[in-house]
Amino acid sequence: MTECAIEALALRKSFKGHEALCGLNLTVPRGSVFGFLGRNGAGKTTTIRILMGLAKADQGAARIFGIAPGDDDSGALLRRRIGFVPEDKELYPYMTVEEVIRFSRPFFPHWRDDLERRYLKAFDLPPKKKIPDLSKGMRSKLMLLLAIARGSELLILDEPTDGLDPVVAEEVLRELIALSASDGTTIFFSSHQLAEVEQIADRITIIDQGRSIISGELEDLKQQYQRIKVVFADGIPADIRWAQGADRIRNEGRMVSILSGRNSEEIMAQARALPGTSVDTYPVTLRELFLELMRAD
């Protein structure tokens, strides 16, 4: 049995001359809660579509539980093991909540009636209401219910809390953590809500312009990256060349703000050796890290 839930190797995908993915690598271990981050148009949804077999990579390979999702037959078998919440949270407009549940149930041999009942109640979903009469938030909740109740080994969630109020979003996140802890379900989710990702993810990948720019265990990354602030009493010297590891450097008045991913000690020693400086280091939040990486690009 493969240890990876998802593996993507050198994925490339172009649309009308625009490269959406440029050699993306991705490894999602089984049982992890994996945050997939990036700006709009970074290639997140394209990646998810390739993983769900909705699109084919021009080059490279994607595997879920060691199986190629793009194959019609094996992909269908694979989808029994995957719960999916797409970016477009639309369902059949002619069905009610209970009809869409009844429709979905027979496709999944491990359908969890207990989870279905639990989330129907927890999300306060009206069984008799037609899909078009549901609010955006309600539709998001229903999509989550349908993904979770499949009894899947892997949940692929594209902006799962989109449209949910903060209280319900919090509740959903707690449920996802509980699901991962109790059943070992792997959760792969993309989100713009960095605080949410920080709250539940144990691993992340940040992608930009179709390639992974940072990837790893969230705690390791937070320890690895530091903000070093160097204040110069007499202004920033023009000819300063920082040591390797100073990934992102911003000059703000008399202060230099450095995001360092490695070699922090050497950078701090270099800063302290400069005349008239005071040097401080700060831990980096995921939000800061994300914004800094995006800003630099």
Partner 1 sequence: MLWKKGWYETRIRLLFALALVVVIAVLTTGDPPPAAAGFGPAIAATMIPAMFAALLLPGAGVKTQLGGLRRSKGLHGSMYYTLSLPVTRTRLFNVRVSLGLAETAAIQVLTYSAILLVHLHPARINVALSDLFKHGVAAFFCVTAVYSLGVFFAAFLDEVYQHWATVFTVVGTMVILSRVPLPASMDPFLVLSLASPLNTHTMPWIAMAVLLGLSGVLLLIALKIVRSLEY
Q: What are phi and psi of 154, to 5 degrees?
A: -140, 130
d(CA 69, CA 155): 14
CA distance 140 to 137: 5
Looking at the DSSP bridge assignments, the partners of residue 15 are 18
Give the angle 16-44-90 at the CA atoms, nearest 5°. Answer: 90
Q: How far is the CB of 278 from partner 1 (least distance, A)?
A: 54
Q: Are the C-beta atoms of 28 and 188 separated by less than 8 Å?
A: yes
Q: Return the number of the residue (129 or 262) whose C-beta is nearest partner 1.
A: 129
Give, in order, the Cα–Cα distances in Å from 211 to each of 13, 19, 87, 206: 11, 10, 20, 9
Interactions with partner 1, residue window 105-124 (CB under 8 A): 106-108
C-alpha dihedral, 100 to 106 to 107 to 108, nearest 10°: 110
Under rule CB under 8 A, residue 72 binds partner 1: yes
Using the minimum distance from each CB to partner 1, give the nearer residue, 28 or 52: 52
- For residue 107, the minimal CB distance to partner 1 (Å) is 5
Candidate residues 39, 80, 130, 192; the one interacting with partner 1 per rule CB under 8 A: 80
Dist. CA 85–CA 196, nearest whole Å: 17
Nearest approach, Cβ of residue 40 and partner 1 (Å): 18
- By rule CB under 8 A, what string of x and - marks binding of each residue 41-70 to partner 1? --------x--xxxxx--------------
Residue with the two structure tokens 């549901």:
134
Task: Say how many C-beta atoms besides its own lie within 10 A of residue 3's C-beta.
Answer: 10
Q: Is 287 helix (H, G, I), strand (E, B) or coil?
A: helix
Rounded least distance, CB 155 to partner 1, Å: 11
CB of 78 to partner 1, least distance (A): 8
- Nearest CB to partner 1, comparing residues 77 and 181: 77
Residue span 120-159 as binding mask against partner 1, x where in contact by CB under 8 A, dash where not = -----------------------x--x-------------
Which positions touch partner 1 (CB under 8 A)?
49, 52-56, 72-73, 75-80, 82, 84, 86-95, 103-104, 106-108, 143, 146
